[in-house]
A and B are shown apart, each in its own frame.
Chain A
Amino acid sequence: MQGNDFRNAQKIVKDLKNRVVITGLGIVSPNGVGVPKFLNSIKNGVSGVRFFPELQKLNFSCQIGAKPKVSEVEKTNYFTNLELKNFNSNGILYGVMAGLDALEDAGIQKKEISELPDWDLGVIFGTGTSGVEKFREAIYKLDAGKVRRLGSTTVGQTMASGISAYLGGKIGAGNRVTTNSSACATGTEAIFMAYEQIASGTARKILCGSCSDDGPYVWGGFDAMKVTTFKHNDQPESGSRPLSATASGFVPGSGAGALMLESMESASERGATIYAEVLGGHVNSGGQRLGGSMTAPNSVAVQRCIKKALSHSEVKPQEIDYINGHLTATIKDPVEIENWCVALGRDGSNFPYVNSLKSMVGHGLAASGSMEAVSAVLQLHHGFVFPNINCDDLHPEISNRIDPRCIPLEKIDVDLRTIVKASFGFGDVNACVIFRKI
C-alpha cells in the first residue's frame, strides 16, 4: 500500500472505533463507602488512615493502615445470607459493593436469575490476590488433615478471578468476564482493557475496576521490605505524605473502585448520564531494564507510557488540565514528577494541577488505580481539584521543578476538561488513561 492509502486506511479504522464513555461509578474507600460519602471526603481532605492494634501486636513496623468501614447490615444489601455464610474475602466484599453500585448508578438492571445473560455486558475487574483470610482458614484446616471441612466456597473466594466471577453472576454478564492483575497498575489497566474491548466492538458495556484484600497477611510483605512508613504510628492521619519532603514510605490500604464503561451509542440509546469520555490510553512495561526492577519503575518506560497514551488519545500535552498521580509517598515521588515534566514537556507554572488520593486513603495496592480513577472522574464531572493533605512541606526537588500552586493544599473549584490518570506497579509495569468531559 502506498503511504497515502495506508494513512487513509488507518483513519478509516480509527473512525470505525466506538467512542467509549463512563456512565456509572462505585467506590468503597477507607474515607468513604459509596460515591456521595467519598465525594464529600475528598472535597474536604478527610483521611481514612487509622492505627491498627493488631499490627502492633504482630510486630509490624508500620502499624497504621487504611480499610473501608463496612457494617454487617450494609453487607446484606449486596450479598444473600447464604453467600455471607463462611464468607471471608474482603477484596471480593469491596469489589462487589463498588461494582453493583456502578451498575446501579449507570441505570443498568441486573439480569434476573430466570432471564438470559446480557451478551453485550462484560466484567474486567482486577485484583492482586484474593481471599487471603479465607485461604489462611483453609490452610489451618488442611494442615490438620481436615480437607473435607473446607466447604464449597473456598475455591470461589480464593481464586484470583473470584471478584469477576462474583460480579458476573450477580449481574448476569454474558460477555467477557475476567480478572486482570498487574500489581499497583491493576485498576488503571482494567479501565484500558475495558476501553479496548468496547472500542473494538466486541462488547457494548463493561463493568471494570479493581479491588484489594487487606490486613496483616497482605501488608506483611511490604512491611518486611521497609517500603511502608514506621514514623507515624502515633499520628495515623498525617502518615501518608505524597509529594512531601518528609515522605517516609507508603501507608498500606485497600478498597475497590468501579466504573461502568459503555459505547457512546449504547449510552445515547439508553439516555444515560455521561460522566466523561475515555479518550484512550496505553499500558506498557519497562522490562526491568534501564534501572527498572521488580520493585522500581524505569523512567524511560513511564515517560513512554504517558506519551503513547496522549498520542493514542490524540491529545496534545498542553491540553492536560489535571494529573491524578500514582505518588505513593516514597522517595520516588520527585522522580514521578520529573517523569510527568519530561513526558508532557511542561514544568514550572505551565504544569497541570496534580494531586494524590493516597494522601487520604494510603496505597490501596491493586485497588489504588480504580479508586483514584473514580476520584479523578468525580473531579472532572464536578469541576474541582481535591486538596493534597500532608504535603505543606513540599519536597524541594518537586518545588524546584513545578510551581507549588499546581499542588493544591485546599480544594480548588476549577473547570477541568482533559485529565490523565497513571499507575505504576511492581514488575515495572505502567498504565495510563485519559478522560475528557463532554
Chain B
Amino acid sequence: MTQDEIYDQLRNIIKIYLPEDVSEENITPESHLVKELNINSSHLVDIVLDVEDAFDIEIKDTELEAMDTVSSAVEIIQNKINQ
C-alpha cells in the first residue's frame, strides 16, 4: 500500500471526527489532529480503533502518543503494514 493510499483512507476516517466548524478541506498531511483540526482528544481512541479495523493492524499505547499529526499517523500505519 502506497503512502498516498494510506493517506486517502486515513483522511476518510478522520473526517468523521471533525467538529462542525472544521471542514474536510482543512485536512492536510501537516495537520495536528487536536490542535489544528480541533478533534476532541477523547476521540483519538476511536480513530485508532477505526484505523486498526481499516488496515488490520494493532496500535500500541506508546505508538498512540506519537500519532499527533496526519503524516505521523500515516508513517506509523505504513511501518505496521510492512512489519
Contact = CB atoms under 8 A, between A and B. Distances in A.
B43 A152 contact: yes
Contacts of A85: 16, 46
Contacts of B20: 80, 113
A273 B56 CA distance: 56
A81 B43 CA distance: 14
Nearest to A86: B46
Nearest to B18: A82
Interface residues of A, number: 11
Which secondary structure dominates where chain A touches chain B? loop
B21 A151 contact: no
Interface of B: 16-17, 19-21, 42-43, 45-46, 49
Contacts of A82: 16-17, 43
Interface-central residue, A85, A151, A152, by most chain B CB under 10 Å: A152
A316 interface: no
Given A81-B16, A82-B16, A85-B16, A113 B21 contact: yes
Contacts of A113: 19-21
Contacts of A80: 20
Shortest 10 CB-CB contacts between residues of A and residues of B: A152-B42, A151-B46, A152-B45, A152-B46, A152-B43, A82-B16, A151-B49, A82-B17, A149-B49, A151-B45
Contacts of A149: 49
A78 to B, nearest CB: 14
A148 B49 CA distance: 9
Interface string A84-126: 0110000000000000000000000000010000000000000
A86 B49 CA distance: 12
Interface string A7-35: 00000000000000000000000000000
Contacts of A153: 46
Given A85-B16, A151-B46, A152-B42, 18 more contacts: A80-B20, A81-B16, A82-B16, A82-B17, A82-B43, A85-B46, A86-B46, A113-B19, A113-B20, A113-B21, A148-B45, A148-B49, A149-B49, A151-B45, A151-B49, A152-B43, A152-B46, A153-B46
A113 B40 CA distance: 13
A81 B20 CA distance: 10
Contacts of B21: 113
Contacts of A86: 46
17 contacts: A80-B20, A82-B43, A85-B16, A85-B46, A86-B46, A113-B19, A113-B21, A148-B45, A148-B49, A149-B49, A151-B45, A151-B46, A152-B42, A152-B43, A152-B45, A152-B46, A153-B46
Contacts of B16: 81-82, 85
Contacts of B43: 82, 152
A247 B74 CA distance: 64
Nearest to A114: B21
Interface in A65-91: 80-82, 85-86
Nearest to B19: A113
A66 to B, nearest CB: 34
A389 to B, nearest CB: 44
Contacts of A152: 42-43, 45-46
Interface-central residue, A80, A82, A85, A86, by most chain B CB under 10 Å: A82
Nearest to B58: A148
A124 B34 CA distance: 32
